[in-house]
Chains A and B, each alone.
Chain A
Amino acid sequence: MNFSNVPNKRKSGAASPLHGDYTASGAQLTMYQVPPIEDVALEEFEQFALDRLRVLKGVEEARSRGRKPDELESVVNDLWRKHMRMGDAAETTRKDIISHYVLRLAYCRTEDLRKWLLSQESALFRYRFRMESPDAQRRFLTESGLPYNPVANAELEAHKDKLLQVARSVAGAGATAESVYYKVPFEDVPELVAGRKVLLSKGWAYVPRDQLAALVVGHFRTRLSKSLTLTRSQWNAKIEAQEKDRLTPVVEALSSRYLGPDYSTPSTKAGVRVADVDALAAASFPLCMQHLLHKVRDDHHLKHGGRQQLGLFLKGIGLTLEDALTFWRTEFAQKFGVDKFDKEYAYNVRHNYGKEGKRTDYTPYSCIKIISSTPGVGDHHGCPYRHFSQDNLSAALGRMRLNRKTIDDVMTKVKNHHYQLACAATFEGVHGAPCESGINHPNQYFDESRKRAASREGDDPTAQGTPPVAERQPAAERASPVTPVH
């Protein structure tokens, strides 16, 4: 296909290299400011995108396991070598650019997709940038139009003590301050600000040279984020309809591919009745949901974060709106009375089912979302493996009747910040069977658990759960519409 149909194009002649040398990743690093304008065969269109997805998925997995920056560098390096490397550097660069732009198309269409791509692409870019030599990094800065100059010595001297203090707060008491700093508006380095890794003074951030990657990634992110929004409006306005029989199906299939199911449609065909909730909870809820259920039964109240996390999960396992209202009303009315519930809380329940406000049918929270939430005082939502104190967690695991060995195993994983692995270990302890797919979603935990229950009773295991995410080989010819996997 010809990419000049693609939005955000530049009217420049060709995708001219930003700088000449091919470096660590075997392709030149780019900010993807110029889309390819050559013809791309459909097979390449899809194959390149799939290969890039494998890299991004790998990056996501490694990050969710809490790998350290150095480990991530080598993970990225391996993934890149395996899936993206071509015969020569020019070929690799071509594949890099084409696959990136195809994924922009595929992942521009919803907020969640955009967020996912933005996050993974930024991570990929970061580790590729880190692998470059300092010289190449500096060159890249200039060539990408990021003319940051080092701070003059006199100014550095004025902030000397505080710069040293920041360096020590980041890297330990023995650290010394960098000799080269860049002074940039703090808005340009959100991640360094968020992590308190820079000195801030009067709106400026003093970025040490070894944190340069964050600065560049910040720009990369901002640009990509804007382009994705733009691509989305172009996609909606015309491409989707124009390419109805050719690219649209490919693109839709690509985006549903690696994210896994979002559990927006109930996983149980028969649905779940209010009366079944407690029995199902004991057998098949992950700890986070068991805890929330336990709390709402005890306190007859949950704060907003908890109501969302549990409410959407229950929706995902097949509780109907009517049953959900009954469920919440039964509990909350004991504390507040039916009137107050109907007035203040029922709206929220209906809202989650897409019956109020902007009528979005909300999807249940994934593990990543739950793990990255920040429960405060009085909150019970979040991931127990991440947010509970050690004592609370091991007590909670004890109540799930796990044996000592399993609890120890879970606690070790928690100590190493592998929260999803800890949850999978709990699953294995509870069900006495391996959990091969890992745990990525509370509703997936539930489905896997029901599947086991069903197969133990001799039923057809697929009757209850969602089918596993199948890897599909790209078809050679994409003339006919493709049915998305999900």
Chain B
Amino acid sequence: MAPGAIEHGPSAKRTRHDPDIDSTPAADMEVDEAPAKRDVVYEDFEGYSPQLMQQFYRRLFPFPEMVRWLSYGHKKNPHPMYDENYLQRREISMTLDGDIFVRYQSFKNADEMAKTIRARNPLKIDIGAVFNVDPAKRNAYSSFGAVERELVFDVDMTDYDDVRTCCTGADICKDCWPLMTIAIKVVDHILREDLGYQHILWVYSGRRGVHCWVCDEKARKLTNEQRGAITDYLKVYKGSENNKEKKVSLQGSVLHPMLSRAYREVLLPAFLDQVLPRQNLLVNETQIDTLLAMIPDEELAEEVKAKWRNGGRRASAHEDENLARWKDLEKIVIREKKRNIRLGHCLEEIVFAYTYPRLDLEVSKHMNHLLKAPFCVHPKTGKVCVPIDPADCDNFDPMGVPTLASLLNEVQRFRGDLREPAEEAAEAALPTDLDKTSLKEAVQLFRTTFLDDLEADCKSDIERAYRAKKDELASRPTTGW
């Protein structure tokens, strides 16, 4: 049996026996060969396949939460200020098996969304903008354009390839993941403290990065120009393939408070504790050259290098060699700074170059950029795009997130058998097993750190707008007949 495929041929019935499960009534209802079950041992599910995805959409994907989020308080309730069609104006697009990209889909409610997605079984779901009209009917209107969109950010580990030694490309490991944690901390702080946003969702992208959704009403209504301004405010990293030497340029003799705060509170501590030692920046020969190239005084760089070559100061048993060498460098640069003005921010620039978040800015600048929905499964890794609590991002482990296969194994363990009655249509919901799997925790996190507050705020905003309108109407002088 091919790994990952759900095909329960008569000979493939082997299941792991779990005595607790047999007594669960739900399990008994589902399993049509109940008496024989004790003898069969199921194979563990592995990897990724469209068949497994179908199970995922039918049993686990949290449609109700997604729709609660994207409705932003606009529900069917007969409230005069509710915009019934709000959800319907949102673009949802899907990538189907065989690289078929279906854009401009829209849904009335969670049921409709679940039905369509279960029927089409996409590899990936993307969320687009809210348009002025239902995007599915865009051709019927003379004007069609995006009117609202969360402010989104995309941080991708491949953009750090020149400063990490552990992996390249799509790979990540515990040694480079701290770079993402740094990005979350820095950006989250700016969004909350500088820009005043509150409803911020961070999501693991399933492979090598993180996504951020800023969902405050003010953020959703930003113009493209304002989005561009925010990305420029955040942008520091200036390196490119043809300008490798100078990666970061911090101009002016004093840093903007936003930068100095990021440096002091996040970048420097993380650089010293994690990046420097884990990436072996000052022991690995090529890394030494890369780092020293950022010192705008070649003689000085040579001097430092020579010192290290000759042994220099040996790190004590408790001290990391990289860290000891960094202290050397710090001392020399600070000493020389008095003589050479060009050394100005050079230490800070090095730290920024290695640690400051590198955002894919194009994603943030435009309203109509698509971004993968949370709780999707990454086809290459099988990992679920689970939310990350920014307040606890240090403890997020990308290697430990639930995968498509691990979740379905959990369901299977609980339910005993994942076969479904053959006559049932693919879009029919199967019993929701979310609570029996480790995805439960992720959905709970989504609700408690993000959705519940967002929804409450949206509702009270709608109420407030309603009261204001009522007052305005009441205070308007009535014209006598």
Contacts and interface: CB of A to CB of B under 8 A. Distances in A.
A190 B226 contact: yes
Contact of B229 (A170, A191, A199, A389): A191
A166 B240 contact: no
A169 B254 contact: yes
A88 interface: no
Interface in A356-389: 374-380, 382, 384, 387-389
B240 A375 contact: yes
A199 B240 contact: no
Contacts of B256: 165-166, 169, 196
Given A169-B252, A391-B245, A187 B257 contact: no
A222 B224 CA distance: 11
A130 B223 CA distance: 26
Contacts of B361: 374
A322 B159 CA distance: 33
B246 interface: yes
A199 B257 contact: yes
Contact of A380 (B195, B233, B242): B242
Contacts of B235: 374
A94 to B, nearest CB: 31
A200 B244 CA distance: 31
Contacts of A388: 242-243
B480 to A, nearest CB: 25
A195 interface: yes
Contact of B196 (A199, A203, A384, A389): A203
A378 B257 CA distance: 30
Given A194-B233, A384-B242, A162 B226 contact: no
B102 interface: no
Interface string A200-217: 111110000000000000
Most buried by A among B99, B222, B235, B241: B241
Contacts of B239: 376-377
B229 A204 contact: no
B41 interface: no
A366 B167 CA distance: 38
B317 to A, nearest CB: 37
A168 interface: yes
Contacts of B360: 376
B253 A172 contact: yes
Contacts of A170: 252
A198 to B, nearest CB: 9
Nearest to B244: A389
Contact of B253 (A173, A221, A225, A380): A173
A343 interface: yes
A387 B194 CA distance: 30
A394 B227 CA distance: 36
A193 B233 contact: yes
B448 interface: no
Contact of B233 (A166, A196, A222, A384): A196
Contacts of B228: 190, 194
A377 B161 CA distance: 8
Nearest to B254: A168
B245 A233 contact: no
A392 interface: yes
A186 interface: yes
B243 A200 contact: no
Given A168-B252, A196-B233, A200-B258, A375 B244 contact: no
Contacts of B193: 201-202
A187 B225 CA distance: 9
B96 interface: no
Nearest to B216: A203
B224 to A, nearest CB: 10
Contacts of A377: 158-162, 239-241, 358
Given A190-B228, A382-B240, A168 B253 contact: yes
Contacts of B99: 343-344
Contacts of A379: 240-241
Given A374-B361, A391-B245, A392-B243, A165 B229 contact: no
A211 to B, nearest CB: 14
A197 to B, nearest CB: 9
B86 to A, nearest CB: 22
Given A173-B254, A193-B229, A187 B241 contact: no
A389 B243 contact: yes
Contacts of B243: 387-389, 392
B475 interface: no
A165 B263 CA distance: 15
Contacts of A196: 233, 256, 258-259
B218 interface: yes
Interface in A154-191: 162, 165-166, 168-170, 172-173, 186-187, 190-191
Contacts of A165: 254-257, 260
B133 to A, nearest CB: 15
Contacts of B230: 193
A187 B240 contact: no
Contact of B245 (A225, A374, A375, A389): A389
B196 to A, nearest CB: 3
A190 B225 contact: yes
A191 B230 CA distance: 9
Contacts of A204: 196
B254 A200 contact: no
B297 interface: no
B358 A376 contact: yes
Q: With a 10 A CB-CB cut-off, give which of A202, A221, A291 has the most chain B CB atoms.
A: A202
A202 B194 CA distance: 5
B97 interface: no
Contact of B242 (A194, A221, A387): A387
Nearest to A196: B256
Contacts of A195: 232
Interface string A320-342: 00000000000000000000000
Interface string B185-226: 000000001111100000000000000000000100011011
Contacts of B310: none
A170 B260 CA distance: 14
A207 to B, nearest CB: 14
B77 interface: no
A387 B240 CA distance: 8
Nearest to B237: A376
Contacts of A200: 194-195, 233, 258
Contacts of A186: 194-195
Given A203-B195, A376-B358, A379-B240, A187 B218 contact: yes
B456 to A, nearest CB: 19
Nearest to A192: B229
Interface in B256-300: 256-260
B255 A169 contact: yes
Nearest to A162: B257
A382 B243 CA distance: 12
B229 A190 contact: yes
A187 B226 contact: yes
Given A202-B193, A377-B161, 12 more contacts: A168-B253, A172-B252, A191-B229, A193-B229, A193-B232, A200-B195, A221-B225, A344-B99, A376-B159, A376-B240, A376-B358, A377-B162
Interface pairs A-B: 8 shortest CB-CB? A203-B196, A190-B229, A194-B232, A168-B254, A200-B194, A202-B196, A194-B229, A389-B243
5 contacts: A169-B256, A194-B228, A203-B218, A380-B242, A387-B242
